[in-house]
A and B are shown apart, each in its own frame.
Chain A
Amino acid sequence: MSLVQNVPAFSILLLMLCGIVCLVLPRRAARHLADCAIALVAAASVALLVYFLQGGAAYTYSMGEIGAPFGNELRAGMLEAAVATLFSIVTLLSLMGGRAHLRSDIGRLKVNLYYISTLFLLCSMLALVYTNDIFTAYVFVEINTITACGIVMSKEDGYTLAASMRYFIMSLIGSGLFLISICILYAVTGHLLMSNIQEAVAQLYAQGEYRAPLQVAIALMGVGLSLKSALWPFSSWLPDAHSSASASSSAMLSGLVLKSFIFLMIKIFYRVIGAGIVRTHAVLDLLLVFGILGMVMGSVNALFERDIKRLLAYSSVGQIGYIFCGVGLGTPAGVAAAMVQVAVHATTKAMLFCAAGGLMDASGGSKKFRDIEGAGRRDPYAGVAFIVGTLSMIGIPFFGGFITKLSLVQAAVTVGGWRNLLSILAIIVSTILTAIYYINVLAIIFRAPETAPTKASEKLKEEWKKQVRLDTEYEVAIVLFILLNLAIGLRSDQLMQIITTGLSMFG
Chain B
Amino acid sequence: MSVFFANLPEYAAMILFGIGLSNLMLAKNLVKKIIGLNIMDTSVYLFLAAKGYVENSVAPIVSASDLGHIEHTLYTNPVPAGLVLTGIVVSVSVTAVLLSLIVRLNEEFHTLDIDEIIHILRKRDREDLK
Q: Are A165 and B101 in contact (CB under 8 A)?
A: yes
In the assembled complex, which residues on chain A have CB atoms less than 8 Å from the CB atom of B44?
176, 179-180, 183
CA distance A161 to B100 in the complex (A): 11
Q: Are B97 and A146 in contact (CB under 8 A)?
A: yes
Q: Are A192 and B79 in contact (CB under 8 A)?
A: yes
CA distance A172 to B21 in the complex (A): 10
B residues 98-124 in Cβ contact with A at 8 Å: 98, 101-102, 104-105, 108-109, 114, 117-118, 120-121, 124
**How distant is A144 from chain B, measured CB to nearest CB, in Å?**
12
Q: Are B25 and A162 in contact (CB under 8 A)?
A: no
CA distance A158 to B80 in the complex (A): 41
Of A156, A165, A173, which is within 8 A of B114 by CB? Answer: A165
A316 CB–B CB distance under 8 Å: no
- The contact string, 1 if C-beta is below 8 Å from chain B, for chain A 130-164, is 00000100110010011001100100101101101
Closest to B106 in A: A161
A residues 175-192 in Cβ contact with B at 8 Å: 176, 179-180, 183, 186-187, 192
Closest to A307 in B: B125
Of B101, B120, B121, which is within 8 A of A164 by CB? Answer: B101
Q: Are B86 and A162 in contact (CB under 8 A)?
A: no
A87 CB–B CB distance under 8 Å: no
Q: Are A172 and B24 in contact (CB under 8 A)?
A: yes
Of A142, A153, A156, A180, which is within 8 A of B17 by CB? Answer: A180
CA distance A169 to B48 in the complex (A): 23
In the assembled complex, which residues on chain A have CB atoms less than 8 Å from the CB atom of B109?
158, 162
CA distance A173 to B34 in the complex (A): 11
A168 CB–B CB distance under 8 Å: yes
Q: Are A158 and B124 in contact (CB under 8 A)?
A: yes
A166 CB–B CB distance under 8 Å: yes
In the assembled complex, which residues on chain A have CB atoms less than 8 Å from the CB atom of B121?
158-159, 162
Of A138, A161, A179, A186, which is within 8 A of B101 by CB? Answer: A161
Q: Are A180 and B101 in contact (CB under 8 A)?
A: no
Q: Count A/B pairs, Cβ under 8 Å.
A: 80
Q: Are A166 and B90 in contact (CB under 8 A)?
A: no
Q: Are B37 and A172 in contact (CB under 8 A)?
A: yes
B83 CB–A CB distance under 8 Å: yes
Q: Are B30 and A165 in contact (CB under 8 A)?
A: yes
B residues 1-57 in Cβ contact with A at 8 Å: 17, 20-21, 24-25, 30, 33, 37, 40-41, 44, 47-48, 51
In the assembled complex, which residues on chain B have CB atoms less than 8 Å from the CB atom of A192?
79
CA distance A180 to B25 in the complex (A): 17
CA distance A44 to B79 in the complex (A): 34
CA distance A158 to B108 in the complex (A): 7
Q: Are B41 and A161 in contact (CB under 8 A)?
A: no
B93 CB–A CB distance under 8 Å: yes
In the assembled complex, which residues on chain A have CB atoms less than 8 Å from the CB atom of B21?
173, 176
Closest to B30 in A: A165
In the assembled complex, which residues on chain A have CB atoms less than 8 Å from the CB atom of B25?
169, 173
In the assembled complex, which residues on chain B have CB atoms less than 8 Å from the CB atom of A180?
17, 44, 47
Closest to B10 in A: A187
Closest to A150 in B: B97
In the assembled complex, which residues on chain B have CB atoms less than 8 Å from the CB atom of A142?
90, 93-94
Closest to B87 in A: A179
CA distance A179 to B80 in the complex (A): 13
Of A156, A159, A168, A176, which is within 8 A of B41 by CB? Answer: A176
Q: Are A169 and B24 in contact (CB under 8 A)?
A: yes
**How distant is A242 from chain B, measured CB to nearest CB, in Å?**
16
CA distance A401 to B59 in the complex (A): 57
In the assembled complex, which residues on chain B have CB atoms less than 8 Å from the CB atom of A138?
90
Q: Are A165 and B90 in contact (CB under 8 A)?
A: no
**How distant is A191 from chain B, measured CB to nearest CB, in Å?**
10
**How distant is A306 from chain B, measured CB to nearest CB, in Å?**
9
CA distance A166 to B118 in the complex (A): 10
Of B47, B80, B93, which is within 8 A of A146 by CB? Answer: B93
In the assembled complex, which residues on chain A have CB atoms less than 8 Å from the CB atom of B90?
138-139, 142
**How distant is B117 from chain A, measured CB to nearest CB, in Å?**
5
CA distance A146 to B108 in the complex (A): 21
Q: A142-B90, A166-B114, A186-B51 are in contact. Are A161 and B108 (CB under 8 A)?
A: yes
Q: Are A183 and B24 in contact (CB under 8 A)?
A: no
Closest to B41 in A: A176
Q: Are B98 and A176 in contact (CB under 8 A)?
A: no
- The contact string, 1 if C-beta is below 8 Å from chain B, for chain A 319-337, is 0000000000000000000
In the assembled complex, which residues on chain B have CB atoms less than 8 Å from the CB atom of A169?
24-25, 33
Q: Are B97 and A187 in contact (CB under 8 A)?
A: no
Closest to A164 in B: B101
In the assembled complex, which residues on chain A have CB atoms less than 8 Å from the CB atom of B102?
165
In the assembled complex, which residues on chain A have CB atoms less than 8 Å from the CB atom of B87?
179
- The contact string, 1 if C-beta is below 8 Å from chain A, for chain B 65-108, is 00000000000000110010011001001100110011011001
Given contacts A176-B20, A180-B47, A186-B80, 16 further A-B contacts (CB under 8 A): A135-B83, A146-B97, A153-B101, A161-B104, A162-B117, A165-B102, A165-B117, A166-B114, A168-B97, A172-B24, A176-B17, A176-B21, A176-B40, A176-B41, A180-B44, A183-B44
- Which 8 pairs across A and B sit closest by C-beta, in order of nearness? A142-B90, A187-B51, A162-B117, A176-B40, A158-B108, A161-B105, A179-B44, A183-B47
| 16 chain-A/chain-B pairs, Cβ below 8 angstroms | A142-B94, A145-B94, A149-B101, A158-B108, A158-B120, A162-B105, A162-B109, A162-B114, A168-B101, A169-B25, A172-B24, A172-B94, A179-B87, A183-B44, A183-B51, A186-B51
